[in-house]
Structure 1
Amino acid sequence: MGELWRSEEMQLVQLYIQIEAAHDIVDEMGKCGLVEFKDLNPHVNAFQRNFINEVKRADEMERKLRFFHKEITEHNKKVSGTGRKMAIRDPDDETMAKHQLDDLEPMLDDYEKQLIEMNSHQEALHRNRNQLVELKHVLEKDDTFFSQAGQREEETYEVEESGAKGLGFISGVIARDKFSLFERVLFRASRGNIFMKFAEIFEDIEDPVDPGKPVKKNVFIVFYHGNALQTKIKKICESFFANLYPCPETPQERKNLLEQVSTRLEDLKLLLSRGENQKAQVLGTIAFSLLSWIQKVKQEKGIYHTMNKFNYDLGRRCLIAEGWIPAKETDQVMARIRQANERSGSLVPPVMNPIQMKDDIPPTYFKTNKYTTAFQGMVDSYGIARYQEINPAVFTMVTFPYEFGIMFGDLGHGFLLLLFALALIYKERDWEGKKINEMIEMFYGGRYLIFLMALFAIYQGILYNEFFSLPMNFGSAWKLDYETNSTFLRRNPDPSHTYVFGVDPVWKGSTNELLYYNSVKMKMSVIIGILQMSLGIVLHLMNALHFGHMYDVFYEFLPRLVFLWSIFGYLCFMIIYKWCQDYVGMDLYNKDADTYNNWLNATNSSDARYKLMTGTNGAPVLLNELIYMALIPAPDLRNRLYNNQLYVQLGLIAVAFICVPLMFCGKPCSQWRDNKKKIYHRLDHPVEAHVENENEPILPATGGGHGHGHDDEEFNCSEAFVHQGLETIEFVLGSVSHTASYLRLWALSLAHSELATVFWDKVMYMLIDLPLKSNLHWIVVAFASFAGHSVWFFATLLVMMFMEGLSAFLHALRLHWVEFQSKFYRGDGRLFQPFTYAKLNEEE
């Protein structure tokens, strides 16, 4: 947990690396993932950097690998369902280490040339096959056309080459979706001087424009008269992308040509099969190492991208790099740099020097594990913590699932959520590090968060005594008076006898159930909210002490805490104080005292009368008390909680009002005074001030406070007052709005309970009453029971588990982001982003 309390201490280092060892050293840094390299050439164009040619080579190799992956994917689609799919093997370190970039590049070139040549050859064969298939159908359909017309073959049909007068014909194939328009255009262009017959091809033919896509086509034959009309028909066929084929005039010639076409189709089928097998062998060889090559190329590209950030020292013929590393990992980083330098064979050892931070703000780095990653991700979604700022995730790991449990509290619903979380944890071995469905991955990443949410929902469900909205009786302190059948009597007259744990089940279904649950949950929400906001203010104090901002301690922490507890902390005190008062016992005492006093009055006795106590009728309404406290009314005995209450409240209001100008003016006035002192000191001692500025370490600015920042920065008094005024107004108004915002804990908890009760009452109770109040057949009752249970189950899953769970999650998230973290968390830091191969593999 100490690793999460504040971000890791970071160290800025400078590296001097020999050029021949640079590649191996950066490669080793990518494996360990502990160095965030700075770009020392921010103003140099990307195309003018030292290693841009290597980056271009890697880009070209990535293009080829994407081409290979596309070819394998298309091949798997074609053979889907045949059991001949190619499995792409997972990357392995041995394959990656065996192939270097210089060896891999010519190998990929050869594979690309082979595949391109095979694809072009296969495309040409497919085109020939399509043409032969279409010609085959033309010959078959034309033979049918002529046979339907009788023995027309004996007549002489003049063709274009004969130049004589008579009928000619043109036959071909056209796409079916274009045929109707094609027919109308031909008819209008020829003014009806043609005769056309067509037939559908029931076999799908491959589309030449989009290979692999089947197209339905028709065979047509057009009879015409004259050469001019023939030319016009051919142009129209060309505009509709119709394929024209020569058709012999005699049946014998058509039969002979059909036999030749069938023979050629068989030969083409054999050639295509052999070509596919040859291509499959090449793709199988590629698939064996494809992912390893992709990762290798990505790593090499990342290495040269990183080396482009370095400076090149011409005099020393070495590369100069700067980067951030965790301070406690300095020895490990240096040891791995030396190992990489020895592996490269360089004779000159690398040099690593820690350097001053200058004006750079160190990055924020939290070391997380599979349990804390989800909570840290929630905090980072709001904003990255400043360097060395307290991390809210430490408290979020407890407070977030607890507040979710308050709103989602039900033993049954929590148990279902627990089963879901345990199923995700159980699948950890199978799914870890593998690509899964995006929706499932979202839940899987937060499996331990869901696990804690389920546990706290179960805990709160036991506290509320609700199991799918039903109470659980483990020894109630009350029993039903069967004479009246509506009154509950105490089982044990001893007032200390209470229910085992949580709410007594007698409250569930009582006439004042809603009033009781409203009162308890509302007051619990206020107390929890004040405690969490107070924790945020205390964390603000710890941040101020850590960074040395003493003005934040005196002018922000103290007045804020006093202001909050003077009003809303006092409300918590009144809630607890009222809980401790036995108003029922006071009523019993008043009853006996009133009887005794009446007896004394009747007997005219001179004995002292008993003084009556407040009792339930005189119990104050705390919301009214808080309003009266601000309005400062005259003493009202009917709303008095304790003696001298008015004077205590007046004192608290006065203290709260004093805190407001202290928050507004204290810090800017103190900063203005310190700035004046520095100016006078520099005017009186210019040489000493100059030396002091040179020797003073420059720390990262962390916002507000005392004793930080540049001395040369000019202090803007008006800007400081405006900034502090906005923060003061935000805190004062936020104290009211944020306290009211915590009432969402009460509202959602009550809504969850009442909605579950409605589902149970309207579905399950109706099923219980159905066989008792009706004479329906048992089969009808069984069917209705099954349907009712199904409705209740799916309503529980969809509405209660998913919608209510999502609502409780979002509201708990808002309470942490706005109400809690706004008290101390700046969230304007910069995330530590080291050069690491793990991130490159995730992007893939």
Structure 2
Amino acid sequence: MAIEKMVMMNLVGALEDEDKILEQIILMGNVHLQTDISELYESHFALHVLEESLSEMGENGEETARGPNDENYSEILSRIEYISNALNIKPKVDRIFLEKSFEYGFYKSSIDSIFQEVSPIYEEIQQRKDLIKKYQTFRENIKYILDKNIDFSQLETLHFFRYKIGMMSHENKMEIAKNYENITAIAKLIGTGEDSEVFLIIYPQKFEMETERILKSVNFEEVKIPEELKGTPKEMNEQMEEILRQEQIKLNELSQKIQEMKEIYKDFICQAITRVKMTQKVNRLKENIERGTSVFILSGWVPESQKEEITKQISTVSNKFMTVFKDINEIGKSIMPPTKLKNHKWFQPFENLVKMYGTPSYNELDPTVFLSITYLIMFGAMFGDVGQGLIFIIAGWILSQKQKESYFGPIAMRLGMSSTLFGFFFGSLFGNEEWIPHIVRSIFGSESVIARLIIHPMENMNLILISAVAFGVILILFGFGYSMINCLKEGNIKDGLFGRNGLAGLIFYIALLLIVYEIALGSVIIPKGILIVSIVITMALMVIREPLANKIQHKLPLYHEEVSSYYVESGFDIIETILSLASNTISFIRVGAFALNHVGLFLAFKTMAEMAHGGIAGIIIMIIGNIIIIGLEGLIVFIQGLRLQYYELFGKYFKGEGIEFKPIQFMD
């Protein structure tokens, strides 16, 4: 439940070691680049002083400044991609290939040489594959007319007529038959396939355009006869078989050459793409670097716990650099550090649910742990079933194994555990509420504490609904606490002390709750008069919060708008506050409602199973019911839980306007 402390790292290094130092920073993967650097250098950096310091360390002081490498790597990358595709190599970007130095000229000439060697063979392979595919397609199209004694070579000699052969669906064949007298062509059925008919179309040359228009309207798919094939369909098929046999032999020979090249060049291709991508990344990084006559300057945020390790790692590639680390208090509030969440492994998957709403600001409390615990309780209460919870655990585990980078699997496992736990409290196993209570009573006895802990939701509706609202009240109170802490950390006493989500709002909410409690149950905790006075005072504080806060902090002017407009707006804000608090509290009744709905759906399927007189049909109905409930209701409950977190709680205390910590990394 923490945000890792950051420090600003200002690094000054010799230009001659620039590439080596930047490459090392990329490989370390723990520096978040600060791109807005002008203010940093003006306020906190004396470039000439640092240059002098480096000169004392052995820098010769000569002008060695140089801009980013302007070499265009797009061509070499496209050729590497072409070669990889041709040789069926999946280029692996690996740090091990960075051990050798990078010389652009050597890599470019080598890649060009390999390209010249590979491309003719690869292009010929593609041409032969296309040719084989063309013949195979034609062979497939004429397989229904192999027994027809039609010499297509003779049809080529016609002077005043043209012909086409092609495929037509059974439905379109009927359209042709209905309008045959209007067609300026002879359409002869010469073959029948599974889904289509093969037609020979003969038409006068002068009606060619009209015939093509008619054929297009009935989705006629013409079959082109390769020019080199002559004679009847049977003779053409024999010619094709010989051509395909020869082409396959040549294709196998070329493929063997490609395989030999792959074994020779695969390691170099992986090394080349690794080196080129690293150089590209270094050049992009250089765009955010300031340079002097002999040094470069880079600024970025790093975790405070890693600053010594960072300096140590950079020293392995250069001894001509300096690092200066500054705490945020030394920099000022104008520059906000990025946020790196630091939570226990159990809560880390839920960080992604927080980030879906927004990234916590550096000075804001991380709500991940609070969300994790409360969201698990909500989901379990709304979807409590031992069997279905175990299904979620298994599905989450499988997903975690298949997609290790996904957070859905770990979250599903944790939700399944909560569902299973609440399933024991509800005594539900795949919708059956008799097995678990019977087993518990048999082992521990009917009057045991464990047996009494089992609550059937449908038999305790009021308890379930009241507990849901009470749970919501507790969460809202925690939300007020989070809001006050966040505001006071920012020095915002206007909202922290006098705002609707601050101390005044908290007292106002508690007073309203106690009045409702007294009206509903007739029990007095605090005299109503005191509560009413508290409500009036807190309402007044919320109305005058801006001028009051400005007066306390000695800020002028007290109002930042017209006084009348301010008080009109503040008056409506009080009404909105009352409505908001009421709706927020009542919204949590849906936790209990979904718990009852979960049981109700099972009862519906159970009733249908009983109407089917049990047996196999009843079992199938219950299985289908469980599948529907797991898939459909599970998704709805997942969304409803998030809705309660985002709208009823986050809206009170969490802004999520931070910048996520995204270090420069090689493998991104």
Query: For this structure pair, what is the TM-score category when the shorter chain's length is used for normalisation?
Result: 0.7 to 0.9
- Which of 556, 560, 568 is matched with 2:513 structurally? 568
Structure 1 residues 287 and 759 mapped into 2: Cα distance closer, same or farther (>3 Å)?
farther
SS at match of 1:748: helix
Q: Which one-letter code corresponds to 1:94 in the other structure?
A: I
1:274 aligns with 2:289: no
Q: Distance in 1 between matches of 2:506 and 2:276?
A: 57
- Tell me which residue corresponds to 1:22: 18
Which residue matches 1:664?
A: 543
Higher-Rg member (1/2): 1
1:502 is displaced (CA, Å) by 6.6
* 1:311 and 2:307 correspond: no
Corresponding letter in the other structure for 1:526: V
Give the equivalent residue in structure 1 for 2:462: 519
Say which of 327, 330, 346 aligns to 2:307: 330
Deviation (angstroms), 1:279: 2.9
Aligned to 2:321: 349
SS of equivalent to 2:70: helix
Partner amino acid for 1:272? Answer: L
Cα drift, residue 802 of structure 1: 1.9
Structural mapping, 1:238-637, within 5 Å: 268-283=247-262, 294-313=273-292, 316-341=293-318, 348-352=320-324, 354=326, 356-357=331-332, 359-368=334-343, 371-424=346-399, 427=401, 432=404, 441=406, 445-467=407-429, 468-471=431-434, 472-473=437-438, 500-501=449-450, 514=458, 517-556=460-499, 557-569=502-514, 571=516, 574=517, 625-626=519-520
Give the partner amino acid of 1:810: I
Task: Tell me which amino acid in the other structure corresponds to 1:380.
Answer: K
Q: Which residue of 2 aligns with 1:94?
A: 96
Asked whether 1:788 is paired with 2:618, we answer: yes
Task: Please say if 1:814 is aligned against 2:643.
Answer: yes
Match of 2:588 among 742, 746, 762: 742
Query: Separation in 1 of the partners of 2:201 and 2:439?
Result: 88
TM-score (norm 1): 0.60
The correspondence for 1:759, drawn from 600, 605, 623, is 605
2:187–2:199: 8 Å Cα contact kept in structure 1?
no
For residue 577 of structure 2, the aligned residue among 708, 731, 741 is: 731
**1:833 partner SS:** coil
1:202-256 per-residue CA deviation (whole Å, 9 max, x = no partner) reads: 9xxxxxxxxxxxxx9999999x9xxxx8x999xx99xx9967859999x9xxx9x
Change (3 A) 1:729 1:110: farther
Tell me what 2:34 maps to. Answer: 38
Q: Deviations over 1:637-681 (max 9, x none)?
A: xx7446xx8x923432332232112112134333156456x79xx
SS of 2:317's partner is helix
Structure 1 residue 16: Cα displacement: 2.0
**What is the CA–CA distance in structure 2 between the aligned matches of 1:248 and 1:125, rounded to whole Å?**
21
Query: Cα offset for 1:271?
Result: 2.9
Alignment CA distance shift 1:107-1:372 (3 Å): farther
Matched, 1:831 2:648: no
Residues 261-296 of structure 1: CA deviation (Å, up to 9, x unaligned): 998876555333322332344356566676665555
Q: How far did residue 20 of structure 1 move?
A: 3.0
Q: Which amino acid aligns with 1:786?
A: I
Q: Cα 1:245–1:521, aligned 2, differ >3 Å: closer, same or farther?
A: closer
- How far did residue 547 of structure 1 move? 3.5
1:53 matched residue in structure 2: 70
Q: How many corresponding residue pairs?
A: 604
- Superposition RMSD on alpha carbons, in Å? 5.2
CA distance in 1, matches of 2:273, 2:398: 33
- 1:660-739 maps to which residues of 2 (within 5 A)? 660-672=539-551, 674-675=553-554, 728-739=574-585
Indicate if the aligned counterparts of 1:555 and 1:663 stay in contact, CA closer than 8 A: yes
Deviation at 1:531, TM superposition (A): 0.9
TM superposition shift of 1:118? 2.0
Q: Call closer, same or farther: CA 1:660–1:132 in 2, change over 3 Å.
A: closer
Q: Distance in 2 between the 1:723 and 1:281 partners?
A: 79
User: What is the aligned partner in structure 2 of residue 113 from structure 1?
Assistant: 116
Match among 528, 543, 549 for residue 649 of structure 1: 528
Which digits, 9 at most, give the CA deviation of each residue in 1:292-335, with x for residues without a partner? 6555543332222111111232xx23322222222332222222
2:97 touches 2:275 (CA, 8 Å); kept in 1?
A: no
Equivalence for 1:153 = none
**Partner secondary structure for residue 298 of structure 2:** strand
What are the superposed Cα offsets for residues 33-84 of structure 1, whole Å, 9 maximum, x if unpaired?
2212233599xxxxxx943624x31x33332344345546xxxxxxxxxxxx
Distance 1:759 1:101 in 2: 71
SS of equivalent to 1:53: coil
Structure 1 unmatched runs, 5+ = 43-48, 73-85, 150-156, 161-166, 181-187, 203-215, 343-347, 434-440, 478-490, 492-496, 575-621, 627-638, 680-712, 771-783
- Partners in 1 of 2:619 and 2:230 — Cα distance? 75
- Alpha-carbon separation, structure 2, partners of 1:731 and 1:716: 21
User: Aligned to 1:323, what secondary structure does the other structure show?
Assistant: strand
SS in structure 1 of the partner of residue 341 of structure 2: coil
Shift, 1:90, TM fit: 5.3
Mark the CA change 1:724 to 1:454 in structure 2 (over 3 Å): closer, same or farther: farther
Deviation at residue 15 of structure 1 after TM alignment: 2.2
Q: Which amino acid aligns with 1:32?
A: M
Q: Specify the code of the residue in structure 2 equivalent to 1:301.
A: Q
* Equivalent pair of 1:172/1:243 in contact (CA under 8 Å): no
Distance 1:147 1:667, change over 3 A: closer
Q: Would you say the 8 A contact 1:525–1:746 is kept in 2? A: yes
Q: Which runs of 5+ in 2 are unaligned?
A: 39-65, 174-180, 213-221
SS at match of 2:296: strand
